Amino acid sequence: MGAAFKLDDACRQQIDEHLDSIEEVLRDAGMPRSERQNILDDVETQIVEMLSARTQGNPMVEDVKAVIAELDPPESYAAEEQGERRQEPAKAMPLVSAKKGSLHKIALVFSIGGFVLPFLLLLGGEVWPRWAVRGGAELDMWVRVVPAILSFAALQLTGLVLGAVTWRKPCGKAAAILSACSLMLAFLCFLFVFGVVAVPAEP
């Protein structure tokens, strides 16, 4: 074998056709070109070595066909490769990224919830339990106003953080902007209400 090993055009064509079929399958499975080429080089080496062992140097087309018949069909590469590609996203992606799929929606729910829940707390006085009403202004403050402020801050902060994490998604962006604006507005209101910023007196 060695230098005496020669492939004529007909043999070469048979081998190339088999390699082309494998490449097509791998390309369809989404494998990058460089990796396809690695596999094709290995298959070609194997074919030539099998031919070399079989024919002692001068293979005929029948020999090539016989060798190719011993090999896996090109379609079998698809099963292997598609299995790999299916596993890769889960393997490569950290848990947080896998959950990001719905985080942007949750962010928006928090941002909107940050308005709805305090609103319900503040305006639900009419249907509030009797003991809260009977408790007077002080108790009313603790069961309505403080929870409303806290829930507003907590929900908007959560919406802001989740929105920032999922900024690339429209819902995430909307949640981040909405929460940021409402928190700033609430902070300004707080400053005015508690007199940190003086309102100019009317003449």
Name the residues that contact another protein, by CB under 8 A.
1-2, 5, 7, 26, 31, 35, 38-39, 41-49, 51-52, 71-72, 76-77, 79-81, 83-84
Task: Tell me how far apart the alpha carbons of residues 64 and 194 are, in angstroms, rounded to a whole number.
Answer: 90
- Nearest residue to 66 (alpha-carbon basis) of 80, 79, 53: 53
Q: How far is CA 11 from CA 8, 48, 133, 135, in A?
A: 5, 11, 96, 98
Least distance in Å: CB of 61 to another protein? 17
Q: Identify which of residues 45 and 102 has a Cβ nearer to another protein in the complex.
A: 45
Query: Which residue number, 83 or 125, has a Cβ lying nearer to another protein?
Result: 83
Q: Smallest distance, Å, CB 41 to another protein?
A: 6
CA dihedral 110, 111, 114, 115 (to 10 degrees): -140
Which one-letter amino acid corresponds to residue 32? P
Cα separation of 82 and 21, whole Å?
16
Least separation in angstroms between CB 95 and another protein: 20
State the Cα–Cα distance between residues 173 and 160, nearest whole angstrom.
9
Q: Minimal distance in Å, beta carbon 52 to another protein?
A: 4
Which of 8/72 has CB closer to another protein? 72
- Which residue's CB is nearer to another protein, number 59 or number 118? 59
Q: Which of 157, 153, 149 is nearest to 122 (CA)?
A: 149
Nearer to another protein, 9 or 138 (CB): 9
Q: What is the smallest separation between the CB atom of 182 and another protein, expressed in angstroms?
A: 46
